Amino acid sequence: MTAFHAFPDHAARYLVRSAITAPSPYNTQPWRFVNHGDELQLHADPSRHLAVADPNGREMLISCGAALFSLRLAVRHLGFLPLVHTFPDSARPWAAMTWAESVSCPGRTVPRPVRPGP
C-alpha cells in the first residue's frame, strides 16, 4: 500500500532550493513553485519569458523540465517516490507532484530526516 504525505514546509523549501539550481536561459529561472499540502506545483512564469531570445517559449519549457527533473531527484534523495502529473489540465499548473513512501526505492526504504536550512 502506498502512503501519501503532505510536504512539510522545511521539506518543500529543501525541494525547491534543489530544483532552482536547474539551468535556464540567461538564468531567468522561468518557474514558480506552489506548495498545496500534499501537492507541490510547478508553474511556468510567463513574466520571465524572453520573448526576443525565445519567441516560441521552447527554452522556457526546457528550463521547467530541468527544474522538474531536479525536483524529482531531490524527492528520491529524501527516500520518497515522486508521482508526477505533467500538464494535468489547462486550468492547472504545468506539472503537479505528490510524493509517497517508497517501498521499492533501491538502496533506501526509510525516509531520511530533513533538516531545515540556515
% of the chain surpassing 70 pLDDT: 67
57-74, pLDDT tens digit by residue? 889 889 988 998 999 899
Q: Quick one: which of 13, 16, 49, 56 has its CA closest to 30?
A: 49
Amino acid identity, residue 95? A
Name the band, by pLDDT with cuts 50, 70 and 90, for residue 21.
very high
| Beta carbons within 8 Å of 97's beta carbon, 6+ residues apart | 39, 40, 41, 42, 68, 71, 72, 75, 82, 83, 84, 85
* Residues in CB range of 28: below 8 A, 6 or more apart: 48, 49, 50, 60, 63
Q: What is the pLDDT of residue 66?
A: 93
